[in-house]
Structure 1
């Protein structure tokens, strides 16, 4: 009996006799004896990959026959492969064995040694553009970027602008993209780059490595982007400009750096504020700086700055203008035990700030205390009457005292004056009564003096009338005129000659 096998035009058959491979059957009709147990495995050529059991063993025993009909791809432990099946691509990792039928679908095979390079050649990168294949990582670096290639977490090389693809079979591949437009990107493991990859650093980077007495000012496109402290070590792109400043001998910043780092752009001032000690000296003031416990030269009006690293600072501005100090509400007993409240004001100016601050911890507190002492001494040695009669004497006493105390401290006292002497309520009442009595006595004296003068005048007038009848007559007429102004009718008995000796009857209607 016969067994018939038909192989279609789009098929291939694998002929086995009792599990032993006997060959590859082309399309057509085949007949074999049924008794000999022939078996045929058919494979559709529309499926380009041939799924053959025990392929590796068959290749060892019948490799020449199979190679006539199959493309065989076998990768070692350090190899990978790209296979194009018509318009499709697939990738094969290490230790793979695959077979693809010849002649029906176009097959293209490329094998790569992973030990030689983890990157695919550019020609394949372009051909695989837009395709996602297992085991291949595509990378695109723009012209504004630099890529850092890491394999197994170790830096391998920088990547310029362009397209790349890398095998990821059995190895960890990472690409760190850094922006070229950012002058100080976060370089991964910068210390490793500096120590292990000097070629990359020399080609792409500017390095800042500072000693304990150096600071660095980093500028990008003319603008300060960072101020580095001593002992810093930092990487930047080569596009930056770096200025190293030795602070061992010169702690104070020159005027051009003060303008750039302190009084210029706000964002620059914020970058540098931790590195600088800044003192603003207003107009009509002088600045005093104590650096590491030592007084420095006086500072003129303006902005001054010092590097803070490794130093201590203490500074203040001293006003050179005339200043006023009030000593108010001083409760003091006069010599005659009268409690008084005295307010004092003084004008002063600092003429030698260095001398004043070297000797005095607090200028105003010193003046206040000395004025208190002088005021108590001046008031306590005088009676109330003496104080009220001559307040200028108090001013002179206090002025002499305070000037003698301030001469050696670079302070000039311009004026001292008592503003108010406030008396207790009962003392005010007593003084009011005293003043009232004094004024009443003065008024009585004036009144007596006026009465005496009036009497003397009348006596003189009488003597004149006694010797001059005409004057007496005129006086009578004057009196009558005055009376007539106040009444309407006058009745006179007798004649006018007896007007002073006769009774005058004044009758009102």
Structure 2
């Protein structure tokens, strides 16, 4: 009986080990695509505890978490013939694990290739200014194209972000000159507006001073006081014409003879 029961014990131990080895536990974000005799089961397994009977069953583990994939820098020629280097970041997620395993050999690699070709084709249809100013719209357009191509194998593209745009050195200098010229044009416009406002104020001040001639004299004296504060050695002071007229009249009155000439003699 001892020798007869020994083989059964060995078989029981092997069976227990086989069952223990068949136990699989998946996390909440994981799913298992089971191939039984080479055919994929309709529904993936998980999460939790289940059995995989090898060698009849083969398991492929798929993660349902979001994955971030960086698209390597791509050489792009824009519509206005500017050569740039552009890279992007693609966020994707597997929605159907069975399709992601059965339809493609490597869904991440295939999505990356789709992203590279789409990035070059879409950015090649726009000008450089549109690429720099309307990046959000281009991101949505690229996302829609990639998502449409990855939908057949159960992958959802959540977002596409153009990460960096490397411009040639000549283009950077040209853009810097353009920005400098725009700032200079704005400064000239502001300066011209200031001159125009100052001219209007001067016209108003001239009309106001013309109403009272004495105010002009007071303004001259105030200007002389301001110049004297600076302690200059030479002061150029404008002399009003009114003062010259007064001096001329005064000199004319002073040189006029005080004694009237004698009257002519009467003949006898």
Q: Do both proteins adopt the same fold according to a TM-score greater than 0.5, normalized to the shorter chain? A: yes
Give the direction of change, closer, same or farther, for the CA distance of 1:301–1:437 in structure 2 (3 Å limit): same
What's 2:264 paired with?
none
Shift of 1:357: 2.2
Give the direction of change, closer, same or farther, for the CA distance of 1:303–1:482 in structure 2 (3 Å limit): farther
SS at match of 2:172: helix
The answer to whether the Cα contact below 8 Å between 1:464 and 1:471 also exists between their aligned partners in 2 is no
**Pair 1:207 & 2:17 matched:** no
Give the direction of change, closer, same or farther, for the CA distance of 1:465–1:350 in structure 2 (3 Å limit): same
What's 1:53 paired with?
none
Give the direction of change, closer, same or farther, for the CA distance of 1:399–1:391 in structure 2 (3 Å limit): same
Shift of 1:379: 0.9
What's 1:408 paired with?
152
Residue of structure 1 aligned with 2:29, choices 281, 284, 289: 284
Shift of 1:285: 2.0
Deviations 1:395-438 (A, max 9, x none): 12212212322333332222222121111122212222222222
What's 1:395 paired with?
139
The answer to whether the Cα contact below 8 Å between 2:71 and 2:116 also exists between their aligned partners in 1 is yes
- TM normalised by structure 2 equals 0.74
Equivalences for residues 89-488 of structure 1 within 5 A:
202=1, 206-208=5-7, 216-218=11-13, 227=14, 253=19, 261=20, 276=21, 281-296=26-41, 297-302=43-48, 305-308=51-54, 310-311=55-56, 313-316=58-61, 318-469=62-213, 472=216, 475-476=219-220, 478-480=222-224, 482-483=226-227, 485-487=229-231
The answer to whether the Cα contact below 8 Å between 2:140 and 2:159 also exists between their aligned partners in 1 is no
Q: Distance in 2 between matches of 1:419 and 1:387?
A: 12
Shift of 1:278: 6.7
Q: Distance in 2 between matches of 1:481 and 1:407?
A: 86
Q: Flag structure 1 segments of 5+ consecutive residues without an equivalent.
A: 1-201, 219-226, 229-242, 248-252, 254-260, 262-275, 504-509
Give the direction of change, closer, same or farther, for the CA distance of 1:475–1:343 in structure 2 (3 Å limit): farther
Pairs aligned (count):
242
The answer to whether the Cα contact below 8 Å between 2:89 and 2:162 also exists between their aligned partners in 1 is yes
The answer to whether the Cα contact below 8 Å between 1:279 and 1:315 also exists between their aligned partners in 2 is no
SS at match of 1:206: helix
The answer to whether the Cα contact below 8 Å between 2:32 and 2:59 also exists between their aligned partners in 1 is no
Give the direction of change, closer, same or farther, for the CA distance of 1:342–1:379 in structure 2 (3 Å limit): same
The answer to whether the Cα contact below 8 Å between 1:355 and 1:410 also exists between their aligned partners in 2 is yes
Q: Distance in 1 between matches of 2:225 and 2:24?
A: 94
Deviations 1:208-263 (A, max 9, x none): 359xxxx9343xxxxxxxx26xxxxxxxxxxxxxx6x9x9xxxxx5xxxxxxx4xx
Deviations 1:432-471 (A, max 9, x none): 2222222222222222222222222222221221124465
Deviations 1:3-49 (A, max 9, x none): xxxxxxxxxxxxxxxxxxxxxxxxxxxxxxxxxxxxxxxxxxxxxxx
Shift of 1:342: 0.7
The answer to whether the Cα contact below 8 Å between 1:374 and 1:397 also exists between their aligned partners in 2 is no
Task: Please give the root-mean-square deviation of Cα atoms over the aligned residues, in Å.
Answer: 3.5
Q: Distance in 2 between matches of 1:278 and 1:443?
A: 77
Q: Which has the higher contact order (CA 8 A, sep 6+)?
A: 2
Deviations 1:83-102 (A, max 9, x none): xxxxxxxxxxxxxxxxxxxx
